[in-house]
């Protein structure tokens, strides 16, 4: 039952039929800000710190139980609000970005709400069985927040470097 519901996340990201999915929408966002498809998919501009943070999260999800991996997704509780802020403010702050590139955030508004609801149900059912498991859930969320902070720091550092050196320097 959980796998059947989880498959929707894969379809959301990979696409199906006419819907190209979130990965293509993310590439479209990169193109909307001026990168080529090849630059986005090559990961050429991904900073070592961002790559490290993402690899840490992927490795975490590989080595823990599926219930723990699902619990780590609960940081998405705040994603719909963040995506809405981006949709509301980007046109003003970044008028040169093609509005078509904002599809990724539009998709995630509803997808993240649904994903969080499912993740919360699974997490509550599994981790509510003992105090030890509840503390483990908090450790997992702290780890994921640390990953997200590391990503935010990497992005900020890269932005500072771009401002100093120029966009492709």
Output the CA torsion 49→50→55→57 (10° steps). Answer: 110
Alpha-carbon radius of gyration of the chain? 18
Q: Is the dihedral of CA 42, 40, 28, 3 positive or negative?
A: positive
CA 52 to CA 71: how far, in whole Å? 21
CA 118 to CA 77: how far, in whole Å? 11
- In this predicted structure, which of 28-37, 64-73, 152-161 has the lowest mean pLDDT? 152-161
* Among the listed residues 19, 46, 17, the one whose alpha carbon sits nearest the alpha carbon of residue 103: 19
Q: What is the structure's pLDDT at 6?
A: 87
Confidence of residue 167 (pLDDT cuts 50, 70, 90): low
* Among the listed residues 154, 125, 161, 132, the one whose alpha carbon sits nearest the alpha carbon of residue 55: 154
Q: What is the structure's pLDDT at 168?
A: 59
Q: Quick one: average pLDDT of 107-118?
A: 91
CA 43 to CA 160: how far, in whole Å? 19
pTM: 0.83
CA 16 to CA 37: how far, in whole Å? 20
Confidence of residue 169 (pLDDT cuts 50, 70, 90): low
What percent of the chain shows pLDDT beyond 70? 96
* Among the listed residues 118, 16, 8, 25, the one whose alpha carbon sits nearest the alpha carbon of residue 67: 118
């Amino acid at each position: 039952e959980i796998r059947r519901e989880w498959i929707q996340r894969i379809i959301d990201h990979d696409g199906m039929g006419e819907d190209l999915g979130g990965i293509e929408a993310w590439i479209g966002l990169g193109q909307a800000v001026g990168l080529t498809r090849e630059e986005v998919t090559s990961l050429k501009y991904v900073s070592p710190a961002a790559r490290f943070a993402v690899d840490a999260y992927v490795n975490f999800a590989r080595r823990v139980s599926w219930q723990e991996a699902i619990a780590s997704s609960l940081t998405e509780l705040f994603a719909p609000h963040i995506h809405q802020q981006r949709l509301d403010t980007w046109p003003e702050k970044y008028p040169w970005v093609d509005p078509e590139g904002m599809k990724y955030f539009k998709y995630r508004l509803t997808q993240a709400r649904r994903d969080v609801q499912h993740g919360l149900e699974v997490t509550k059912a599994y981790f509510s069985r003992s105090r030890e498991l509840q503390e483990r859930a908090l450790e997992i969320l702290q780890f994921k927040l640390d990953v997200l902070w590391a990503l935010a720091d990497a992005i900020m550092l890269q932005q500072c470097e771009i401002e100093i050196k120029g966009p492709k320097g």
